Amino acid sequence: MPHEVIMPALGMTQDTGKIVSWLKSTGDPVKAGDALFEVETDKAVMEVESPAAGYLTDVQAEAGADVPVGQVIALVSETAESSDTVEKATADTGGGDETLLPKGKAVIMPALGMAQDTGVIVAWHKGLGDQVAAGDILFEVETDKATMEVEAGVDGFVAALLAEVSEEAPVGDTIAIISAEAPTHPVQRSISDGGAPKPAATPDSAPKAEAKKVPKPAPAPKPGGKAPAVNSPIKPSGGSILASPKARRLALEQGLDLNRLVKAGHPQPFHVADLEVLKAMPVQAVEAAVSHSRRLTANLLTDGFAEFAEWAAENANLNDASALLAGLVAASLGHDKATIAVESFGQSRVYNVPVGAFSNITKTEEDTAPDLILRDLRMSRVSTVRLGAENAPVLTLTTAKGGVCITLECAGHHLSASKSVSLLSEFASRMEQPLRHLL
C-alpha cells in the first residue's frame, strides 16, 4: 500500500510551505529516512524525509510551489509506476456550510511528526468568545509520540471551535477560528456529528480548559489494620512499552504499572484513556520500586550552537547539525561512548558517539535504545515542556527571550540528583560556547 508524503507543519501558525527543491525524482528508489525535498517557511528551510522504503511516485507539486499544510504531494509506492490516485487537497474550514463560519485566522491541526496523519484534542484552554494573545496556549494535542501545548499564534477572539475534546482531527484541518473582533455568533462544532453546529453556542456556554486531575493520596491505614494495596511502577519485564508521553507521565505519577496492560493483551500504543482500563483491573501484589521523577531547567541568554554549526560545516565539512548536538550531549554525559537519539519535528535520528572527533559520530538503527534523548523544539512555538520521564533521560531545547531554555526530565533511577545537575550544567555550557569546550 502506498505511503503518503504530506506537506508538514514546521510551525504552529504555518498554513503553507514552499518547495525549494526535490532531492529525488519521480521513479527513484528511496529508503525510509532519505531526504525527498526541501521545504521553506518564514522561519526555516528543512529537509523532509521519506516515511518508508519504495519508489517516489505521483509527485503533485514542482519546485517553487506553495503547498497547503497537510496536502498530499507525492506517494512512496511499491513500484516505480504512477498510481494516479492522489487527489489534491482542498481548503476546508471545518466542514459544513462555510458561510456559517465567522471570518478570521484558521487554526489547523499541526503535524508533530512526519508520519502523523491525525491528532487527538486533549483539552481546550480557551472557550468561545475568549480573548487570546498570540502566545496564549489554545489547546493540547496528543499523538502516538508526544503531547504538546499549541499556542493561538495570533491576537483576537475565539470565534469558532470545530472539534471537541477527545476527538481525532486530520493534520491540516481547521479546528478553530480566531477573529479580530469579538464574535457576535460564535460557532461550536463536533467532528463526530459531521460538522453540524451545536445549538445555543454562546460565550457563556463555551467549553473551558479541563481541570487537571490530581491523584488523591491513598487513605491512611487504620490503627492495627493493613495498609491499602498500591499499584507501584515496575520496570518492563522485557522489550519497550509503546505509550504516549502523557499516559506514561500519569502512570508514573499515579503508581500505575503499564506492564499489566501488556500482559493482559491490551493493544499498544497506550493513551490516557487506557489508564482507566488499568485502574479497573484487579489489584495485584507487586514489588515496590520507588522512582522519583526529576525536572531541571537552565535558561541561556545566548545560543551559540547555530554559529558553531556554521563554523563546523565550513571548516570541518560537518554538515549534520543533529550529529553535532549528539556530540555535545555525549561529551556532557562523560561516557567513553554513548547512543544519543535526536528528535526534531517528529523525525528521530540515533547516533553512536565515541570519545574523540565529531567526524567519528555515525548513525545507527532507529530502534536502538538510546542512553539519552535530545528533543530540539527551537523552531516550534512550544515554550514550556513538562512531559514526564521516559525510557531514557530527555533534554529538550526551546527558545526563550532570544536565547535557549534547556529542560532535563528523567526518572530517579536514570540519574542521581547530583548527576542530573552536572549533566544539565555541562550541556548548557557547551550550548552557550561550543568552541571553547572543543579547544
Indicate if 28 and 157 belong to the same structural domain: no
Residue 201 lies in a domain: yes
| Identity of the residue numbered 277 | V
pLDDT of residue 119: 82
Indicate if 308 and 408 belong to the same structural domain: yes
Tell me which residue range forms the domain holding 320: 293-438
Residue 14 lies in a domain: yes
Indicate if 284 and 306 belong to the same structural domain: no
Indicate if 146 and 125 belong to the same structural domain: yes
Averaged pLDDT in 10-residue chunks for the chain of 439 residues? 77 73 90 87 76 88 82 86 59 43 84 69 89 90 73 90 87 87 88 55 42 39 40 41 71 79 82 85 51 83 87 89 92 89 85 89 88 90 83 90 89 87 92 75
Count of domains for the chain: 4
pLDDT of residue 215: 39
Indicate if 318 and 376 belong to the same structural domain: yes
Residue 82 lies in a domain: no
Q: How far is CA 297 from CA 88, 326, 420, in A?
A: 44, 19, 11
Domain boundary among 290, 310, 334: 290
Residue 84 lies in a domain: no
Q: How is residue 238 written as a grid cell?
A: 522485557
CATH number, domain at 43?
A: 2.40.50.100
Indicate if 65 and 25 belong to the same structural domain: yes
β-strands 137-142, 156-161: how paired?
Answer: unpaired
Indicate if 177 and 190 belong to the same structural domain: yes
Indicate if 423 and 312 belong to the same structural domain: yes
pLDDT of residue 200: 40
Residue 223 lies in a domain: no
CATH number, domain at 402?
A: 3.30.559.10
Residue 397 lies in a domain: yes
Residue 91 lies in a domain: no
Domain boundary among 239, 274, 290: 290
Alpha-carbon span 26 to 13, nearest angstrom? 31
Indicate if 311 and 434 belong to the same structural domain: yes
Indicate if 297 and 283 belong to the same structural domain: no
Domain boundary among 274, 290, 306: 290
pLDDT of residue 227: 38
The set of residues, in sequence order, having a beta carbon less than 8 Å from that of 423 and lying 6+ positions away, is 332, 333, 393, 408, 415
Residue 220 lies in a domain: no
The neighbouring-strand residues paired with 158 are 178
Burial class (CB in 10 A: 0-12, 13-18, 19+), 79: exposed
Number of H helices, E strands in the chain: 7, 24
Alpha-carbon span 272 to 166, nearest angstrom? 10
Indicate if 428 and 331 belong to the same structural domain: yes
Indicate if 279 and 356 belong to the same structural domain: no
